[in-house]
Amino acid sequence: MARRTTAAALVCLLAAWPLAVASAPATAAGGCSPASRNGRGDARPEPVPVAAMLADLASRDSSSAALTAPISVPLWVHVLTDGARRAPDEAVTAQVATLNAAYAGTYGGVDTHVRFRLEGVTVTAKAEWFANPLAHETEMKTELRRGGPGTLNLYIGQLAELVLGYSTYPFWYTTAPHLDGVVIDWRSLPGGSLADFDRGFTSVHEIGHWLGLFHTFENGCEAPGDGVEDTPPQATPTVGCPESKDTCSAPGADPIHNYMDYTHDRCMSEFTQGQVDRMHEMWSAYRAQV
């Protein structure tokens, strides 16, 4: 739940998260400190209970038709500003285009058959929200959030030094619908000022979490890993953009080009078919509105 860029607050959320996958996260406010740092300068979350999530997912009734149907996600973008700084309109437009290109497989990998349909953009001038959206998460999302479980609310402000983005999981929606959504740093949008993270792939990664994916390095080399069969086990997050990396004895090199790793934007290009199947399963189980 947090791009290679996960919020420092996320460490506290996941460390306290019980195995019941329906449990809601606590508010992001609080004095959490990062568990560790990698080359991206992000806070790495504690392992999530992937096995418990898989068991809950398996217990839910999903039709085979729902798992193959294209997903059109209504998208609301909430731009925060302190009056002087904010994501430019053209960067927001470019971000939406990047999302649709990445999820269509334009840069590599497979087509996820997930598309994002921009419903509207709000601009909110509150300096404290812009400078620290996670500390004001509850009030910010309560005021701005639109739609139900199948509507993506993307909040764009300026996050802390160790944070690029933060996302909730679909199975948290039932107990904390008002907190559902994705928060990213405005400087990570296409053309932004964050070197190595300026192509808009922070949003691609975080929305992967919103759709139910975990990091490719989840649980390290131990089963069940990230719960997806065609992403090889990976002991550690990837730093930078190496030519190759293989950190586990099991077959398969680390999926360093996967959007759910922590590599630089220029190194990211793909989702796998297994991840596509998982997104659709998660959508059918937790986000599809009937």
Orientation angle between helical segments 201-210 and 89-103, nearest 10 degrees: 60
* pLDDT tens for each residue of the chain, 290 residues long: 344 443 333 322 332 233 334 444 443 333 222 222 233 333 334 556 899 999 999 998 766 666 778 999 999 999 999 999 999 999 999 999 999 999 999 999 999 999 999 999 999 999 999 999 999 999 999 999 999 999 999 999 999 767 899 999 999 999 999 999 999 999 999 999 999 999 999 999 999 999 999 999 999 999 999 999 999 999 999 999 999 999 999 999 999 999 999 999 999 999 999 999 999 999 999 999 75
pLDDT in tens, 115-172: 999 999 999 999 999 999 999 999 999 999 999 999 999 999 999 767 899 999 999 9
What pLDDT is attached to residue 160? 79
Q: Please give the model's pTM, rounded to 2 decimal places.
A: 0.87
Catalytic residues: 206
Q: Which two tokens stand for residue 44?
A: 């790495």
SS3 breakdown of the chain: % helix, strand, coil, rounded to 5?
Answer: 30, 15, 55
On whether the CB atoms of residues 234 and 280 are closer than 8 A, the answer is: no
Q: Which two tokens stand for residue 250?
A: 């099991």
What pLDDT is attached to residue 187? 96
Q: Which residue has the tokens 């190759």?
A: 244
Contact residues for 48 (Cβ-Cβ < 8 A; gap 6+) = 1, 14, 17, 214, 218
CA gap 289, 79 in Å, rounded: 26
**Strands in the chain per DSSP E:** 71-81, 114-125, 152-157, 165-167, 182-185
On whether the CB atoms of residues 234 and 258 are closer than 8 A, the answer is: no
